[in-house]
């Protein structure tokens, strides 16, 4: 196998201080996409990436996406697209990451300044964006620099797509990817996204699936205005009573969805798939620790992971219009909207799920025989994604993990969604791999976000090694 890897790894180690310095510079730019007055910083961060890439010899373009929908006074930050290498004999890998971050302020409870990278004695590098997603994005740049300094030919052509609105719904990106799939991204043989995390802290993983999400509202109304229970209690049919009755029919205490027909949409568990769960580094204590309680549904790891990854779930989220403040107000709400969502999995199609939900809710409401009015609708829906972990893209990444970390990676799915994954797959028609750098304790989106120095430096080796193995994989599809 690629003998140059040893000298690549050594160069990464030699350059590790410079790579941490690069991360420090990136973290210092508060590129918060959700805050209007930080927009210049988001744009500054995009330009920082562009200039670093240019200095490394990549061809870079800043692509404007126009005005922000519903906030026309704001320009969307540019998508940074770049190409490193243009050799038709090499494979081309398209990588995605984002350079914007979640909001953060010391007043939220951070132990250190969120925009000052602070390394503690255990090598934990604290700072907003360290793990999500500036560390991984810079990982690709660092892999280029280490190859140059080591005098090793870069093993593939690298196409890069770095956006600045990920933490705010990736505004404008879907259309951009679809538009560029046959243009800027046309040479891509496969896609790699580094924007998720290991399942635990010890063992790396490759992620091949994500659940989708259908989000619903059940609106029940009757009286012309809110009422007082002293006057109208016992005389009017109450929307809230109806809604609680209807919501009570959706799911039981063990998370079992009560909507008829949902189970039939779920792809059956195969022996091949079942076999993947046994080796996964995860314990019930990991669950209890992250839950903050021992109130799990299942006693065992396999069924727990399946409950999170490969079976659908239904969660009740809230009731709009219900009295929720402290105290004892005796209001009867005139209109209430119950919110719930279903995390979807193969082979649940969005429309088929909607139909079953609408029928179930209407039937449950009809069974009450109330004179109130019902309206049920889907607020938004995003589809699940599952890739083949047997594709060469995954095989190459698996070999790279083994080489760098000395263990076979866990093949994992995730319970949540990263919508851009499906967009890349559908737009390019290529295999998409999620190759995380950080671990489960990195606290992306929370206070004290960090990336372990080890995950960063070994992660840079991993990204480079992955590309070398990609170059060696036999072409099968």
Where along the sequence are the contacts to Zn ion (CB under 5 A)?
A: 132-133, 195
Active site residue 254: no
Contacts of 365-373 with CB under 8 Å at 24 or more apart are: 365/220, 365/242, 365/246, 368/242, 368/245, 368/246, 370/220, 370/222, 370/237, 370/242, 371/222, 371/237, 372/220, 372/221, 372/222, 372/237, 372/238, 372/239, 372/242, 373/220, 373/221, 373/222
**Cβ–Cβ < 8 Å for 352, 272:** no
How near is the Cβ of 331 to Zn ion at its closest, in Å? 41
User: Per the annotation, does 445 bind a ligand?
Assistant: yes
Q: Which is nearer to Zn ion, 137 or 190 (CB)?
A: 137
Q: What is the Cα gyration radius of the chain? A: 25
Collapsing DSSP to helix, strand or coil, 289 comes out as helix
How near is the Cβ of 196 to Zn ion at its closest, in Å? 8
Q: Which is nearer to Zn ion, 356 or 422 (CB)?
A: 422
How near is the Cβ of 280 to Zn ion at its closest, in Å? 23
User: Per the annotation, does 442 bind a ligand?
Assistant: no
Active site residue 100: yes
Print the SS3 string covering 24-70.
HHHHCCCCECCCHHHHHHHHHHHHHHHHHHHHCCCEEEEECCCEECC
User: Per the annotation, does 242 bind a ligand?
Assistant: no
How near is the Cβ of 166 to Zn ion at its closest, in Å? 6
Distances (CA, A) of 381 to 6, 216, 370, 419, 420: 46, 9, 29, 10, 14
User: Per the annotation, does 343 bind a ligand?
Assistant: yes
Name which of 461, 240, 209, 214 is nearest 346 in CA terms.
209
Q: Which is nearer to Zn ion, 101 or 356 (CB)?
A: 101
How near is the Cβ of 418 to Zn ion at its closest, in Å? 8
Q: Which is nearer to Zn ion, 133 or 410 (CB)?
A: 133
Buried b (16+ CB within 10 A) or exposed e, 373-404: ebebebeebbbbbbbebebbbbbbbbbbbebb
Catalytic hit among 41, 100, 242, 410: 100
Catalytic hit among 41, 133, 163, 166: 166
Name which of 457, 446, 454 is nearest 114 in CA terms.
446
Q: Which is nearer to Zn ion, 132 or 452 (CB)?
A: 132
Distances (CA, A) of 401 to 106, 334, 462: 36, 58, 6
How near is the Cβ of 450 to Zn ion at its closest, in Å? 14
User: Per the annotation, does 403 bind a ligand?
Assistant: no
Strands 313-320 and 335-344: antiparallel
* Other Cβ atoms closer than 10 A to 79: 25
Sign of CA pseudo-dihedral 84, 86, 89, 92? positive
User: Per the annotation, does 73 bind a ligand?
Assistant: no
User: Per the annotation, does 300 bind a ligand?
Assistant: no
User: Per the annotation, does 320 bind a ligand?
Assistant: no
User: Per the annotation, does 24 bind a ligand?
Assistant: no
How near is the Cβ of 36 to Zn ion at its closest, in Å? 20
Burial class (CB in 10 A: 0-12, 13-18, 19+), 425: middle
Query: Which residues is 106 bridged to in the sheet?
Result: none
Q: Which is nearer to Zn ion, 133 or 452 (CB)?
A: 133
Binding-site residues for Mn(2+) sit at 98, 132, 167, 195, 445
Binding-site residues for substrate sit at 195, 228, 330, 343, 417, 445
Question: Active-site residues: which are they?
Answer: 100, 166
């Amino acid at each position: 196998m690629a003998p140059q890897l040893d000298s690549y790894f050594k160069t990464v180690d030699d350059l590790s201080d410079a790579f941490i310095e690069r991360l420090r510079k990136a973290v210092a730019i508060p590129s918060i996409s959700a805050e209007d007055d930080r927009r210049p910083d988001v744009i500054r961060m995009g330009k920082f990436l562009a200039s670093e890439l240019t200095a490394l010899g990549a061809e870079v373009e800043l692509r404007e996406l126009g005005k922000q929908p519903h906030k026309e006074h704001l320009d969307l930050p540019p998508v940074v697209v770049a190409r490193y290498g243009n050799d038709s004999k090499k494979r081309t890998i398209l990588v995605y990451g984002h350079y914007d971050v979640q909001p953060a302020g010391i007043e939220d409870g951070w132990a250190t300044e969120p925009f000052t990278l602070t390394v503690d004695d255990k090598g934990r590098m604290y700072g907003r964006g360290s793990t999500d997603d500036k560390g991984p994005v810079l990982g690709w740049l660092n892999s280029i620099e280490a190859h140059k300094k080591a005098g090793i030919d870069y093993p593939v052509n690298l196409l890069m797509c770095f956006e600045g609105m990920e933490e705010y719904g990736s505004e404008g990106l879907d259309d951009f990817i679809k538009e560029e799939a046959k243009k800027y991204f046309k040479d891509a043989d496969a896609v790699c996204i580094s924007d998720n995390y290991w399942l635990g802290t010890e063992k790396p993983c490759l992620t091949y699936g994500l659940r989708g999400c259908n989000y619903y509202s059940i609106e029940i109304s009757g009286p012309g205005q809110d009422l007082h229970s002293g006057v109208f209690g016992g005389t009017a049919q109450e929307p809230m009573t109806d809604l609680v009755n209807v919501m009570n029919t959706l799911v039981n205490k063990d998370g079992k969805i009560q909507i008829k027909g949902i189970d039939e949409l779920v792809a059956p568990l195969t022996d091949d798939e079942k076999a993947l769960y046994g080796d996964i580094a995860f314990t019930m204590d990991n669950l209890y620790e992250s839950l903050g309680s021992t109130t799990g549904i299942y006693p065992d790891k396999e069924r727990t992971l399946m409950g999170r990854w490969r079976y659908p779930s239904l969660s009740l989220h809230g009731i709009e219009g219900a009295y929720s403040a402290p105290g004892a107000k005796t209001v009867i709400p005139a209109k209430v909207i119950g919110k719930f969502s279903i995390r979807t999995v193969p082979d649940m199609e969005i429309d088929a799920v909607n139909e079953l939900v609408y029928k179930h809710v209407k039937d449950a409401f009809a069974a009450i025989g109330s004179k109130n009015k019902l309206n049920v609708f889907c607020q938004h829906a995003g589809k699940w994604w599952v890739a083949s972990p047997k594709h060469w893209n995954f095989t190459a990444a698996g070999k790279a993990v083994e080489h760098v970390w000395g263990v076979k990676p866990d093949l994992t799915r995730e319970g949540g969604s990263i919508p851009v994954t499906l967009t890349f797959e559908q737009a390019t028609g290529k295999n998409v791999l999620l190759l995380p750098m950080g671990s489960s304790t990195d606290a992306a989106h929370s206070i004290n976000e960090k990336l372990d120095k080890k995950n960063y430096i070994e992660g840079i080796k991993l990204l480079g090694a992955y590309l070398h193995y990609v170059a060696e994989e036999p072409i099968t599809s």
